[in-house]
A and B are shown apart, each in its own frame.
Chain A
């Protein structure tokens, strides 16, 4: 299997603060990968390590088989849309495209113009006067026209209204279908990722908590509802979260085989609930330490 991103014990510190710890992942090629986690979990750090804007404190990271930003060839194979989708406000849309053409060896002007047109942008408009949604579309066009093998986007839609969000994601998916590029996109809104991703990574408090094919993740997690039980262990299953009322216990478990115990009512779980459960499980297990400090 080829990996677009391969990290081994990857870590990054800013002074005494850990932004990313012991991150070991293999992200397969040809996927649309969603990177989710609360604000400050380390998503941006991981993505900036992948594009070579940061260097690791510990461990290693390989992107498309090479070191991030090692040389011009490596740079040209990775497209990056940074948080807040920066553009040059004094330049027109067309001038951005000309600049892209000058700076990128694999630049494809037809792809760039197609994207600008289908996003409904006026190529004579200055970027400073574009709306947030239009600016994001311009940043996407610039990243896609490089014809990258891997497209990395950091919270591209977090500042957009629902309509602009949908239009951006639709443009992103159209580009992915067109170029066959692998995509890694981060967000703290699971709903945005649910439609577009087929692979998910959950990052909480600087650690990767879960990574895998979304269909497999959904198939291996079950919600169990039954009469209250206190030692919440279950043979052959890992308990992720447990909630109790006076009479009832609700568990989220991870198990390869279906849970076959008549005491429990088994329900499937949606992606949003799954992600929230992992975030909550971590918040619960971390809080005692915070108290000690």
Chain B
């Protein structure tokens, strides 16, 4: 069973945060086929959010073919998003960890590290995108 977290200042709507967290759990193998998602009542009580928000998130996941409701029993995972890239996670995590150590040693604080990561990520993403356009 997974637990959801909401980041109020993130600018991402609560329903989308739930969708993203389920997708992420499916990608990382934290949720597998046949697993049950927390009931709407549980999520609502834990996060103090509107039941319609959770319902909307679960419908979206259902629409994507990732989960399906079973009447009276709950909402269950139909397929995972974990693919062959999962095997690459461990070495990549180790690299990232080593990079983080370097950044701390160089005296960067957490905010600077995050800012550096995201700006680099966005630039790389844009460059990769424009290459695809040319090809």
Which residues of chain A have a CB within 8 Å of any CB of chain B?
30-32, 118, 166, 169-174, 176-178, 194-198, 215, 268, 270
B44 contacts A174, CB within 8 Å?
A: yes
Instruction: Across the interface, name the chain B residue whose C-beta is closest to A191.
Output: B8
> Shortest distance in angstroms between A28's beta carbon and chain B's nearest beta carbon?
11
Main secondary structure, interface of A, reads: helix
Which residues of chain B have a CB within 8 Å of any CB of chain A?
6, 8, 11, 13-14, 40-41, 44-53
Question: What is the bound-complex CA distance between A196 and B14, given in angstroms?
Answer: 10
Residue of A30, A169, A178, A195 with most partner-chain B CB within 10 A: A195
Question: What is the bound-complex CA distance between A197 and B13, given in angstroms?
Answer: 13
Select A268's contact among B11, B14, B52, beta carbons within 8 Å. Answer: B11
Question: What is the bound-complex CA distance between A171 and B48, given in angstroms?
Answer: 8
Question: What is the bound-complex CA distance between A215 and B53, given in angstroms?
Answer: 11
> Shortest distance in angstroms between B38's beta carbon and chain A's nearest beta carbon?
12
Residue of B40, B50, B53 with most partner-chain A CB within 10 A: B50
Residues of A within 8 A of B47 (CB): 170, 195
Q: Known: A171-B45, A177-B40, A195-B6. Contact between A32 and B50, CB under 8 A?
A: yes
Question: What is the bound-complex CA distance between A268 and B48, given in angstroms?
Answer: 25
Task: Please count the residue pairs between chain A and chain B whose beta carbons lie under 8 angstroms apart in the complex.
Answer: 51
> Shortest distance in angstroms between B68's beta carbon and chain A's nearest beta carbon?
20
B48 contacts A173, CB within 8 Å?
A: yes
Question: What is the bound-complex CA distance between A31 and B55, given in angstroms?
Answer: 12
Instruction: Across the interface, name the chain B residue whose C-beta is closest to A192.
Output: B48
> Shortest distance in angstroms between A157's beta carbon and chain B's nearest beta carbon?
11
Question: What is the bound-complex CA distance between A176 and B51, given in angstroms?
Answer: 7
19 pairs, A vs B, C-beta closer than 8 Å = A32-B51, A170-B46, A170-B48, A173-B44, A173-B50, A174-B44, A174-B45, A176-B44, A176-B50, A176-B51, A177-B40, A177-B41, A177-B51, A195-B14, A195-B47, A195-B50, A196-B48, A196-B49, A198-B52
Question: What is the bound-complex CA distance between A258 and B126, given in angstroms?
Answer: 24
Question: What is the bound-complex CA distance between A198 and B53, given in angstroms?
Answer: 8
Residues of B within 8 A of A176 (CB): 44, 50-51
Instruction: Across the interface, name the chain B residue whose C-beta is closest to A166.
Output: B48
Question: What is the bound-complex CA distance between A169 and B11, given in angstroms?
Answer: 21
Inter-chain pairs besides A32-B51, A173-B44, 19 sampled, C-beta below 8 Å? A32-B50, A118-B45, A166-B48, A169-B48, A173-B49, A173-B50, A174-B41, A174-B44, A176-B50, A176-B51, A177-B45, A194-B8, A195-B14, A195-B50, A196-B48, A196-B49, A196-B50, A198-B50, A215-B13
Question: What is the bound-complex CA distance between A118 and B44, given in angstroms?
Answer: 14
> Shortest distance in angstroms between A164's beta carbon and chain B's nearest beta carbon?
12
A177 contacts B44, CB within 8 Å?
A: yes
Question: What is the bound-complex CA distance between A172 and B49, given in angstroms?
Answer: 9
Question: What is the bound-complex CA distance between A32 and B53, given in angstroms?
Answer: 10
> Shortest distance in angstroms between A170's beta carbon and chain B's nearest beta carbon?
4
> Shortest distance in angstroms between B120's beta carbon and chain A's nearest beta carbon?
24
Residues of B within 8 A of A32 (CB): 50-52
Residue of A172, A176, A177, A268 with most partner-chain B CB within 10 A: A177
A31 contacts B52, CB within 8 Å?
A: yes
> Shortest distance in angstroms between A200's beta carbon and chain B's nearest beta carbon?
12
Residue of B40, B44, B46, B53 with most partner-chain A CB within 10 A: B44
By Cβ-Cβ distance, the 7 closest A-B pairs, closest first, are A170-B48, A177-B51, A174-B45, A169-B48, A173-B44, A177-B41, A177-B44
Q: Known: A194-B8, A268-B11. Contact between A170 and B53, CB under 8 A?
A: no
